[in-house]
């Protein structure tokens, strides 16, 4: 099981940017597909973005396409989520997730992932 630690959350004004990071422990990080999910108060956890093992394939929720970018640095065991043009509806706890996957996997379901971080709060003020 891989351990995941997120960082980078905070308070930002609408229209601003934040970059989240998630660092994974373990020597087999490159076998993991990585994802970002978020959960707003009173709502279900929802998919935001995912990235394949190599970083060559990515997937995004429609609500963040064109504004968010997921990337990974396999030399640092870290996945990033660059969030631009933030809006109040992006306010949520953001979770990093991992699963062992195939080379071009970009899963988009909570049920697809078995390892989760503790979450980091993102608050967008309007």
Instruction: Write out the DSSP string of 31-42.
Output: GEEEEEEEE-TT
d(CA 49, CA 28): 21
Please tell me the predicted confidence (pLDDT) of residue 3. Answer: 94
Reading the chain (126 residues) residue by residue, the pLDDT tens digits are: 799 999 999 999 999 999 999 999 976 777 899 999 999 999 999 999 999 998 999 999 999 999 999 999 999 999 999 999 999 999 999 999 999 887 788 999 999 999 999 999 999 998
Radius of gyration of the chain (CA): 13
Please tell me the predicted confidence (pLDDT) of residue 102. Answer: 79
Please tell me the predicted confidence (pLDDT) of residue 39. Answer: 98
**Helices and strands: H and E segment counts in the chain:** 0, 11
d(CA 32, CA 63): 25
Region of residue 55 (phi > 0: left; psi between -120 and 50: alpha; otherwise: beta): left
């Amino acid at each position: 099981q891989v351990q995941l630690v997120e960082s980078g959350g905070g308070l930002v004004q609408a229209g601003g940017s934040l970059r989240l990071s998630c660092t994974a422990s373990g020597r087999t990080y490159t076998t993991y597909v990585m994802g970002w999910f978020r959960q707003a108060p009173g709502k279900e956890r929802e998919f935001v973005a995912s990235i394949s093992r190599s970083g060559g394939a990515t997937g995004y929720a429609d609500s963040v396409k064109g504004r968010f970018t997921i990337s990974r640095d396999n030399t640092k065991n870290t996945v990033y989520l660059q969030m631009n043009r933030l809006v109040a509806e992006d306010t949520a706890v953001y979770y990093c997730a991992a699963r062992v996957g195939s080379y071009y996997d970009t899963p988009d379901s909570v049920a697809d992932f078995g390892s989760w971080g503790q979450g980091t709060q993102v608050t967008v003020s309007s």
